[in-house]
Amino acid sequence: MIDWKNELNEQQLRAVCYDKGPLLVLAGAGSGKTRVLTYRVAWLIDQGKVRAEEIILLTFTNKAAGEMRQRVEQLVGKRIGFAGTFHAFCAQLLRKYGERVGLGRNYVIYDETDKKELIKTIVKELGFDERELKPAMVMAMIGNAKNEMLGVGDYAEMARGFSQKQVAQVWERYEMRMRESNAVDFDDLLRLGVRLLEIDEVGERMRAEYSQILIDEYQDTNRAQYRLTTLLDGKRGNLTVVGDFSQSIYSWRGADYRNLNLLKQEYANLETVKLEENYRSTQRILDAAYGVIGNNTGHPILELKAIGKLGDKVMTYEAKNEREEAKFVIEKMNGEYGKYAVLYRTNAQSRSLEEAMIRAGVPYVLVGGVKFYERKEIKDVLAYLRVIANEVDMLSWQRIEKLGKRRADKFKGWLETVRGGGELSTEELLMGVLENSGFVEKFDRNNEADLARLENIQELMSVAKEFSDLNSFLENVALVQSEAQSSLDLDKGVVTLMTVHAAKGLEFSEVFVVGLEEGLFPHSRSIIDKEQLEEERRLMYVAMTRAKEKLYLSYARQRLFFGQRNNGSPSRFLSEIPESLMETIRSRTPAYVDRGRKKESNGWRVVNEWETAPKPVNGRVVEELVSDDFDEIDSW
């Protein structure tokens, strides 16, 4: 028996037990939104409002969905109909009804690496200059258009200027290749899922199957996800969404916090409940964060109240340079390394921190690096499996042929005997690939790097054992990479280094936010545009509200960045924090000035090309922690 009143605060209880129509829960950082969602699902089932199998819970990570599903089962002993990501739901929908939109059931999902490789090939085929028409830029433009529910024909008609017309040509050929390969990318999953729900028969079946819809992190939805929401509900008003305007930091991949406002237009009887009691941070940390976010005028802002103590003042530090800044970070740590996180705006900033930690013998984990499913040997093995499932997957065939004609011919011979793979388990098929392609013959068991690759293949075998069906296995592999976070536990007794984007949804006892210089955070590309500047401010708010007990903010008077030493000025965000909340320490060491290359002091030089993430140092890398690739935005 659940004691609803004792287990929830007043506003949480109001949200959980609301039963008069559509509900919007504005949940501030650390306010217990996951608890509200799980208890609301449990309440709906417990009160007989809906059968468990008629509930669909949409999230942005399978980890979050899994945790909520498990919690609901603990509360009421029943399993809900669907709990997973938007992409996973649409993939499931396409397996059932994909032929209605021209897609075979054995379709494959191209990840971002596959997509980039295909676009790069097409750019060359069309004779375009890759230096001018960068594949990453083309990917972003096509992805944004798809998230706006535009097709290639729509985009071609709207294209203005030489570059957009080139992108339209690339997209047209890209679509042709995808159809030939019976393949989709992540953006297609959403777009085609929406198209299916727009078919009356399919939409009616889904609405009959799911009578209650709950959605987490709604500020992160794009236009396609908003459309999917309204199609699933069908104006019944059986909808609960949770979100926070102030934590919307993904506009660069199509997310639009204004979808929260659109719901109010869609549903005249939409009830709004605000969760403003914070169970994570101290009041001083919350007040400092509010001092920053309160300068945004484009969206509503929650003013959070801490359930815990007042806490220490926020410490700010002015360093001479990035080396002194890193030294300050290390000196403030007391040896319990698992409780610390160091957050920064761009991937390149980790270099000085890593070097200092290695010298000081401080154990750390760098979030990022090459993810498991993007390692070459894993991509190679997956290519074999993908053509077993879908023989017209031309991108995978090209990868196989690059491994050598002898191996390709050997594999083709074996493939004739297992066409479709329907009679064999995923594990048996993977074993067959390894035995009949000659793939593992190229690895030297006396070479440490090759041994590590063989261990990775063995790990893939362990995952394959969990899936009897090959298509389900390949779908899972692809969807894992579309998520923002994985299930790895960070508190392993080491310091966590990560970008602010990667830290979304996490919390740490003590947090350092470094590199708070004008032009770096906020980034130089965002300063002149009001909406982009407000997103940078929301990013700062997210960074600050990761801290539970102590928050440190630092900046450097000079910073070596992209090979040049620049003079910097403190970020405007620091001046937005009330002085009464801060304890400020300044370096007494005069900044070094290179008389021959003195830089202007009004911010960093704009970097025109996206850089790759820093290489892992010391082997201390979380390979899969952030499987959604933030490099494009975090490497500006």
Q: Is 104 annotated as a binding residue?
A: no
Q: Is 33 annotated as a binding residue?
A: yes
Residue 561 DSSP one-character state: E
Q: Is 34 annotated as a binding residue?
A: yes
Query: How many residues are recorded in the chain?
Result: 636
Strands of 212-215's sheet, edge to edge? 82-85, 55-59, 212-215, 239-243, 23-27, 271-275
Catalytic entry in 34, 92, 230, 532:
34
> For this structure, is 309 an active site residue?
no
Contact 505, 485 (CB under 8 A): yes
> For this structure, is 96 an active site residue?
no
CA 9 to each of CA 39, 173, 240: distance values in angstroms, whole numbers, following the listed order: 12, 55, 18
Q: Is 437 annotated as a binding residue?
A: no
Residue 615 DSSP one-character state: P
Q: Is 29 annotated as a binding residue?
A: yes
Catalytic entry in 38, 166, 247, 496:
247
Angle at the Cα of 273 from the Cα atoms of 271 and 275, rounded to 5 degrees: 165
Amino acid code (one letter) for 283? Q
Contact 279, 36 (CB under 8 A): no
Angle at the Cα of 186 from the Cα atoms of 236 and 463, rounded to 5 degrees: 105
Q: Is 32 annotated as a binding residue?
A: yes
Residue 150 DSSP one-character state: -
Contact 201, 99 (CB under 8 A): no
> For this structure, is 34 an active site residue?
yes
> For this structure, is 225 an active site residue?
no
> For this structure, is 115 an active site residue?
no
List, in order, residues 6 or more apart from 452 with CB less than 8 Å away. Answer: none
Q: Is 31 annotated as a binding residue?
A: yes
User: How far apart, in whole angstroms, are the C-alpha atoms of residue 563 and residue 351?
Assistant: 12
Q: Cis (ω within 30 of 0) for the bond into 570?
A: no
Contact 427, 464 (CB under 8 A): yes
Catalytic entry in 11, 12, 33, 453:
33
Catalytic entry in 195, 407, 546, 559:
546
Which residue carries 């798809």 as its tokens?
146
Give strand pairing partners of 622: 367
User: How far apart, in whole angstroms, are the C-alpha atoms of residue 193 and residue 229?
Assistant: 11
Q: Is 84 annotated as a binding residue?
A: no
Contact 155, 171 (CB under 8 A): yes
Amino acid code (one letter) for 129? D
Judged by phi (left if over 0) then psi (alpha if -120 to 50, else beta), residue 368 lies in: left
Outline where 234-334 has alpha helix (H): 259-266, 283-293, 322-331
Catalytic entry in 216, 244, 354, 517:
216
CA 142 to each of CA 30, 169, 276: distance values in angstroms, whole numbers, following the listed order: 35, 11, 38
Catalytic entry in 112, 114, 187, 217:
217
> For this structure, is 212 an active site residue?
no
Contact 384, 439 (CB under 8 A): yes
Binding site feature residues: 27-34
Question: Could you give the residue numbers annotated as active site?
Answer: 33-34, 216-217, 247, 546
Binding residues for ATP: 27-34
